[in-house]
Each structure stands twice: as C-alpha cells, then as structure tokens.
Structure 1
Amino acid sequence: MKLFDTHCHLMDRRFEEDLEEVLARARAAGVTRIVVPAVDLDTSHQVIRIAEAHDGVYAAVGIHPEAAGEVPDGAYGEIERMAAHPKVVAIGEIGLDYYWDSAPRPVQQQVMAAQVEIAKRAGLPIIVHNRESTEDVLDLLARLRPGDAAGGVMHCFNEREDVMQRAVDLGMYISFAGPVTYKKSDDLRAVAARVPEDRLLIETDSPYLSPHPFRGKRNEPARVALVAEVLASARGVTMDEIARVTWENGHRLFRKVEA
C-alpha cells in the first residue's frame, strides 16, 4: 500500500532535529510521496532544497496569506522562475485568511490572484488555504479559473457540502487532514463521504493538526494513514481502496510527481 501526503511543512523548525527519522517513519508507513508547500519566499527556497535532497519529496512555492503584507520586490518573478524547477509541482500555499487578517483583505486577494496567474503560466496546480474567507476564495477561483488550466486543491478542507461541490465544479480537488478524524467531526466526515472519487486527496498539514489519537502533538507524514483509515470508514470502502484512489488522484493533480 502506497500513500501520498499532499501537504506537509517539512521545512518547519520543529523538524530541524529529526527530519531523517521523520521521513524514515513515513516510508515505513507506506508514505512514499510528499508535497512540501512553502509559505513565503525564504521557505520557497527551503522546500526546494528539501525536495532535492530526498527521493519522493516534492516542493510547492508561493506566498501564504499571512505573509501577503510583506511581499518582497521581485518575489513574483522569483516564484515564477522557481516554478520551472523539476521538483516544484505546484504554486502554494496561497489563498485567503480572514481569521488572522495579517494583511488587508484586498491585499491578500491581490497576492492570491497574482500567484494564480503564475500557476496558469507555469502549467502548475495551486494549493489553496482558506480560513473564514470561503466566499471570496470561491469568487476568485470562479473569476480566474485555475481549474480550467492545471487545477488545484482546497487543502485541509473543513467546510460544508455545498462549498465542496462548488469547489469541485470549479475544477478543484478536496483534501482532508487530521480534523476529519476528530470525535466531533461527524459533519465533516459526512462531507468526505460525498466527495467525488476522482477529486479526493489526503494530507497531514504537518507539523499541525495531528489526527486522533495524537491530537495536540507534533504531526508528521506517517500519520496520513490515520486520515486514510477514517475516510475509508466514512466512505464504506477499504483502506487499500482509499490509498489507491488518493495515490492516483495525487499524481493526476501534481503531474510532475514521479509515478
């Protein structure tokens, strides 16, 4: 059984001391493909270095909405150049975050839009962060239509079924992380059961959002297996089936990832 963690922040300082051990545990759990999204220009360089150093690990480059207020001069050109790297498979993590509101909302929207256009020119999918900004995220996706180009994924999905369906209709994939395993997440599991099979992905968002029964502890990619197990139960299929489907979907979306 092969598993694909489509969102894991291995450049986070919490992995500085034991990254090799973390990756060894991932491989032992069957996790042989990992996408590591950046959050700003500096981490975009970091994730490329990590991807270059490890088989099965790939990078996404971009500016997170929490960093949208401090985009350096020339950043977009640099991101577009990095997008040509053979191990850069997406533009991300990009999006909108109205919970932290670290940058004015129009600025966040402009930064996201600029990076969607980079993704379209580069022929890469986008990785979308959405926190308390659903309508504006969907409106921007509907206007810029990245789903008509290389597509994208709504990462760490935690929304209603109608939002899921609107995102799918816009050409997006839907990825679930640790929250789908939490005891009070019955509504989210019901949504997960309704995602079209060809749009379903799994992730850890490590080091954040560790799944049950490790909630509150540092997350790591090996635990994507726990997300897969819960999705299998919610959808009434086997773990092997969820692994197969999400593996195939991950490779379909992130086309530069080696099969």
Structure 2
Amino acid sequence: MSKKDKKERPPMPEALPAPAVDAHTHLDACGAKTAEDVRELVDRAHAAGITRVVTVADDIEAANWAAEAATWDDRVFAAVALHPTRAKDFTDADRRVLEELAERPRVVAIGETGLDYYWDFSPPEPQHEAFRWHIDLAKRTGKPLMIHDRDAHEDILRILTEEGSPETVIFHCFSGDAEFARACVDRGYVLSFAGTATFRNANAVGLREAARLVPVEQMLIETDAPFLTPHPFRGRPNEPYCANYTLRDLAELRGADLAELIVATTATAERVFRLDQVAAS
C-alpha cells in the first residue's frame, strides 16, 4: 500500500440491504468538531446502511463532547467514561462530571472503561479502582457497561464477579478467542466485533473463531473508528460507514445471510442501548 493510499478512506461500499448500527465509534477522533462535521460523517455512514452510531468517550473532554454531539443528530448516541489508560489521573471532579453526563437520555452506555495491560500509562491499581467505580455507575444508572479489555481477560471477569455485573455488559472490540467468548456468552455478556475480526493474520484466528460462534442475540458490530479499519483496507482511516465491510465479512465467515445478520445485530443494539426508548423520549 502506498503512502497516498494509507491516507485515503476506503471506497464507499454498496449500501447494506437493511439498516445497521455502529455500536462503538469515536466521531471526535474521526475529525468531527461541529454539528456540521458530525452530520457529514453520519450522512456518509447512512449512505452505506449504517443508520445509527454510538460515539464513545475516553476522557472527560471527550465525554462532554460526545454527550453534546448526541443532541445534534438523531442518529447519534453517546457513551461516557474515563479510559483505563488514564485511570491514574481520575479525580473526584471527573467522577461528578461523568455522573451528571450519565443521566442524560441520549447517553446510552457507560464506557469505555475496563483494564489495559498492554500500555503502561496507568498502573493496575488505579485501573482496578476506576473500573469498579464505573461498574457501580452503570448499575446506578441502569445503563450498559462498555468494557475495554486489552490483555486483561482474567482480571476483567474477576472484578465483574466481585462487584456483581450490571444488567448488560458489552465487551467492546472483543479480543478473546473462542474459549473466552464462550465464558462471556455463558455469563450473558454481549460481544462487539470490530475490524480486527476481519483480519487475516495468524493472531486473528482465535478471534475469528469467536466471531463465528457467538449467538446473534449477544453480538454487536462496531468500527472503533478511526482505528482498526477492516480487511482489506487495514491501515487506512476508519469511519462508521466501514462497519458495512465488517458485516459483510462476518456474514461470510458465519455462513449467514447478510440481511439476516444485520437485522439480528441491529435488534441486539436496539435492545441493549434501548435506542427506541431513547428516540421516543
């Protein structure tokens, strides 16, 4: 791939045969600042069949922006939290901001929170403390807990067990193998698959097996844009419309009818995020 290609967005795909939801994206990191920017990104997604998106915060500034952006366009919803890599700087003032934002009707999840042992920006102890606090916030608000789990499978499950899981737990950008997927499914958790599940490298074999076996009632599709652009455009800038490519790839992987997979995963998104209830409020 040339340097020029790496800077270009993937081509617009043919529209999906049914409307889909991007369950986890970062519109601000995709370059959106204003309501017009958001509308442009979401219009592009809509043209590809991705008709609703959840834009997710990873710090307090992003949380404020996401909650506000969700009021600019009816197709946009928000999730708020402090990313685990920033946990060492988590203050009481931050907690108060997140508590206020979490009560807003268009904030549909608490996330992304969890544990990240890949980067060393925050030691484990403050990550654990922050994760436990976000679990409690999800339970207090009755909103889904959206988990970031990087190289931390066992501790994530242990802390969820110790604290008691919220009603709905979503593993964003699920990164485990089939065995870990089964453990999560058995607990009733929802697994969200990003472009990584379409990769063809050796490290993706277990993840693709996980994507093959998860029941559609516990399955979401996401982009995590602008990161993790799906195959065959890995390395290019990602956007919500690229969830179209992931859906097509996973339908083929699962031997499923594309329209049926879209309808099923959209129903899962509508249920866990209560999107119809939010739209009616």
Give the TM-score of the pair, scaled to structure 2.
0.87
| Partner of residue 176, structure 2 | 159
User: Percent identical across equivalent pairs?
Assistant: 38
What is the one-letter code of the residue matched to 2:116?
A: D
| Partner of residue 47, structure 2 | 28
| Contact 1:11–1:50 (Cα < 8 Å) also in 2 | no
Q: 2:199 aligned with 1:182, yes or no?
A: yes
1:1-259 paired onto structure 2 within 5 Å = 1-12=18-29, 14-16=31-33, 18-146=37-165, 149-184=166-201, 185-256=204-275, 257-258=278-279
What is the one-letter code of the residue matched to 2:50?
A: V
Q: CA deviation at 1:23?
A: 1.5
Please give the per-residue CA displacement for 1:10-56, whole angstroms capped at 9, x wherever unaligned.
02163449543322110101111111111111111000111110111
Give the number of the structure whose alpha-carbon radius of gyration is greater. Answer: 2
What is the one-letter code of the residue matched to 1:42?
A: E
| Contact 2:174–2:191 (Cα < 8 Å) also in 1 | yes
What is the one-letter code of the residue matched to 1:195?
A: V
Tell which deviates more after alignment, 181-190 or 169-178: 181-190
Q: How many angstroms apart in 2 are the aligned matches of 1:170 and 1:68?
A: 26
Q: How many angstroms apart in 2 are the aligned matches of 1:112 and 1:63?
A: 9
Q: How many angstroms apart in 2 are the aligned matches of 1:214 and 1:54?
A: 28
Please give the per-residue CA displacement for 1:201-259, whole angstroms capped at 9, x wherever unaligned.
10000000001122111100001011111111111111101110110000111114438
What is the one-letter code of the residue matched to 2:141?
A: A
CA RMSD across the alignment: 1.6
Q: CA deviation at 1:171?
A: 2.5
Q: How many angstroms apart in 1 are the aligned matches of 2:239 and 2:251?
A: 20
Please give the per-residue CA displacement for 1:125-172, whole angstroms capped at 9, x wherever unaligned.
1110011111111111122222xx431210111211111122222221
Q: How many angstroms apart in 2 are the aligned matches of 1:82 and 1:37?
A: 13
| Contact 2:38–2:69 (Cα < 8 Å) also in 1 | no
Please give the per-residue CA displacement for 1:59-113, whole angstroms capped at 9, x wherever unaligned.
0111100111111332222212211111000000001001102111011000010
Q: How many angstroms apart in 1 are the aligned matches of 2:30 and 2:196?
A: 23
Secondary structure of 1:118's aligned partner: helix
Identify unmatched segments of 5+ residues in structure 2.
Answer: 1-17
Secondary structure of 1:237's aligned partner: coil
